[in-house]
Amino acid sequence: MYKKNTLRTIVFLIFAGFFCSCTNNDREDDELTTSNSEVCFYYYFEEKVFVNKVLDKMVITFSTDTDGNQRRELVKNYSSLRLIEGWCNFDVHNNSFASLQSKNRKQIPSETIEFFINDSRITSATYVYETKGSWIGLTDIVIVKLKETTTYEQFENLIEQNDCKIVAIYEFPENRILFSVPKTSKFNSMQMSCLFYETGLFEYTTPNKIMLNAY
């Protein structure tokens, strides 16, 4: 039985979808937060909004059964990283996150991202994205709203085909559905959101994002 919530306000359910494909960024910039990074875009309904990948910053999200000592120990394993902020709960399921930055402001190696992904206490690990001066972190959650012409069976078939898992169904507001993307997937929540949207079955799709500057 999936969770249902008809009264609780969901802060992170904002009308902003996320991403899809990446291209090279030719802009020159003094900081790694924009230079030499990839330019990605997300869907705001049908509109593509471009964002920059921030290569010297990353976000990790923890499973709900991970305590503060375990979180601190995970971060301490990498002396090259410093904690920017954490361990705030970012959603109604009491998940928590930490945002990290390389101490030398150089690119965080992809191997570091992979290390966190492979840890059972971590639900997601990605680089940070920047848009309009704000830093955005991704989780493993995607938020969708089906079109009136889309059947629930069609949606479940997509979930099954991509090894995803339905997390919650919210009847208010507007029948939103949350599903999680497995760490074993070749797509993160940003990419999976795009994949689902481009099927034409959804009014909108968006990865659950953490507005880092808000904490």
Higher pLDDT, 187 or 16: 187
Indicate if 140-209 has the same CATH topology as 53-139: yes
pTM, entire model: 0.78
Of 49-53, 90-94, 145-149, least confident by mean pLDDT is: 90-94
In terms of average pLDDT, the best of 5-19, 27-41, 62-76, 126-140 is: 126-140
Which of 7-11, 41-45, 61-65, 142-146 comes out lowest in average pLDDT?
Answer: 7-11
Stated as kind and residue range, the H or E segment containing 84 is strand 81-89
Please state the domain extents for the chain. 53-139, 140-209
- Quick one: 140-209 is in which CATH superfamily? Peptidase S8 propeptide/proteinase inhibitor I9 (3.30.70.80)
Query: Domain 53-139 in CATH: superfamily?
Result: Peptidase S8 propeptide/proteinase inhibitor I9 (3.30.70.80)
Which residues fall within 8 angstroms of residue 139, CB to CB, at 6 or more apart? 61, 90, 91, 95, 97, 123, 124, 189, 207, 208, 209, 210
What is the average pLDDT score of the chain? 79
